[in-house]
Amino acid sequence: MNWFKRIKVGITTSTKEKKETPEGLWYKCPSCKAITPTDEHVQNKYICPKCEYHEKIGSAEYFSIIFDDNQFKEINANLVSGDPLNFSDTKKYTDRLKATIEKTHLHDAIRTAHGKVNGNDLMVACMDFNFIGGSMGSGVGEKIARAIDYCIENKIPLMIISKSGGARMMEAAFSLMQMAKTSAKLTLLSEAKIPYISLLTDPTTGGVTASYAMLGDLNIAEPGALIGFAGPRVVKETIGKDLPKGFQTSEFVLEHGFLDYIVNRKELKSKLTKTLEMFKN
């Protein structure tokens, strides 16, 4: 299988570099198993051309998809979670953090950047799933809080792209309190009448769902994303039977009234532009 090379998602290589990937590299869709040339897959915003499966991508990819000419100003890029509990499970948390930072070239599971979307200002806080499962700790909470301050100060709308397994256990109650912190902070954004769009992507679960991801003025999602509070395995264990088909998908969550719309990644930028202009004009 070594001639199939799955795209490493969320790495900080720019789209331009990816486009230059030599021929002969292929993307295999985990959903329908269709094989697509990598450059074509990238062109297609990492969506399988055959079945529309949206591959998990990271902040670098989202920024390049959303921001005009991939131009943006990142803020608080070097902020890192501390380790106030001196936490250790099978590994020391500080070692885990260090290894993850080296591996991903990211500092935490979220990046915050100000750029333009077809000329409209937008602050985008985008989570990276490959940073400890996109888990929310002090770093994520603080970066969101500072992004909100920035939005209030500069009067620009906020979009948070969620992609998370939930809380970061190694930060225990500090992680839990980031739910309170981000939600409390969002009341200030709301008071300033600044729009907040929450984009839920695959997967958004746990404490992220139970805080900022569900608190958008608009809650929107990519198709086919897993969205829920409890993970499907836990729900299955609780009810003691198989889950119905489509349970906890974006479509399911839309149907139950918790999303405003589902947007294909190919239409994300245009729909976002339209949405921002509705708020503006």
Partner 1 sequence: MVTYLEFEKPIEELRNQLENAKQIAEKSKVDMSQSLKELEKKIEETTREIYANLTPWQRVMVSRHPDRPYTLAYINSLTGGNWIELHGDRTVKDDKAMVGGFGMVDGRTIMFIGQQKGINTKMRQYRNFGMPNPEGYRKALRLMKLAEKFNKPIVTFIDTPGAYPGLEAEERGQGEAIARNLYEMSKLNVPVICIIIGEGASGGALGIGIGDKVYMLENTWYSVISPESCSSILWRSWDFKEKAAEALKLTASDMLNNKLVDGVIPEPLGGAHNNHEEIFATVKKYILNSLTELDKLSPEERVKQRINKFCSMGVVHEM
Residues in contact with partner 1 by the rule CB under 8 A: 78-85, 87-90, 101, 107, 137-139, 141-142, 145, 167, 169-181, 183-188, 206-207, 209-215, 228-230, 234-235, 238-239, 243-244, 247-248, 252, 256-258
Minimum CB separation from partner 1 for residue 40, in Å? 36
188 within 8 A of 148, measured Cβ to Cβ: yes
Choose the contact partner of 195 out of partner 1, Zn ion, none; CB within 5 to 8 A by kind: none
Nearer to Zn ion, 53 or 252 (CB): 53
Residue with tokens 């349970």: 247
Check binding of 29 to Zn ion (CB under 5 A).
Answer: yes
User: Per CB under 5 A, which region of 45-53, 59-67, 80-88, 177-185 contacts Zn ion?
Assistant: 45-53
> Could you tell me the smallest distance in angstroms from the CB atom of residue 31 to Zn ion?
5
Give the H/E segment covering residue 121.
Answer: strand 120-127
Strands 35-37 and 261-262, by their bridges, are unpaired
Distance separating alpha carbons of residues 66 and 226, to the nearest angstrom: 22
Residues forming beta bridges with residue 214, ordered by sequence position: none
Question: Which amino acid is present at 68?
Answer: D
User: Out of partner 1, Zn ion, none, which partner does residue 157 contact, by CB within 5 to 8 A per kind?
Assistant: none
Closest approach of partner 1 to the CB of residue 137, in Å: 8
Q: Output DSSP code: residue 210.
A: T
Instruction: Report how far residue 162's alpha carbon sits from residue 201's, in angstroms, rounded to the nearest whole number.
Output: 6
Dihedrals φ, ψ of 6, to 5°? Answer: -65, 140
Question: What is the spatial distance between Cα 187 and Cα 19, in angstroms, rounded to a whole number?
Answer: 41
Per-position x/- string for 48-77, each x denoting binding to Zn ion as judged by CB under 5 A, each - no binding: x-xx-x------------------------
Give which of Zn ion, partner 1, none residue 88 binds (C-beta under 5 to 8 Å, depending on kind).
partner 1
Q: Which residues contact 121 (CB under 8 A, 6 or more apart)?
A: 114, 115, 154, 156, 157
Cβ atoms 75, 55 nearer than 8 A: no
| Length of the chain as a residue count | 281
Q: Which does 29 bind (CB under 5 to 8 A by kind): partner 1, Zn ion, none?
A: Zn ion
3-class DSSP assignment, residue 95: helix
Binding residue (CB under 5 A) for Zn ion from 32, 77, 180, 192:
32
Nearer residue to partner 1 within complex by CB, 117 or 148: 148
* Beta strands, E only, 132-195: 158-164
- Residue 243 interacts with which of partner 1, Zn ion, none, CB < 5 to 8 Å by class: partner 1
Which of partner 1, Zn ion, none lies near 175, with the C-beta cut-off 5 to 8 A by kind? partner 1
- 75 DSSP 8-state letter: E
- Interface residues with Zn ion (CB under 5 A)? 29, 31-32, 34, 48, 50-51, 53
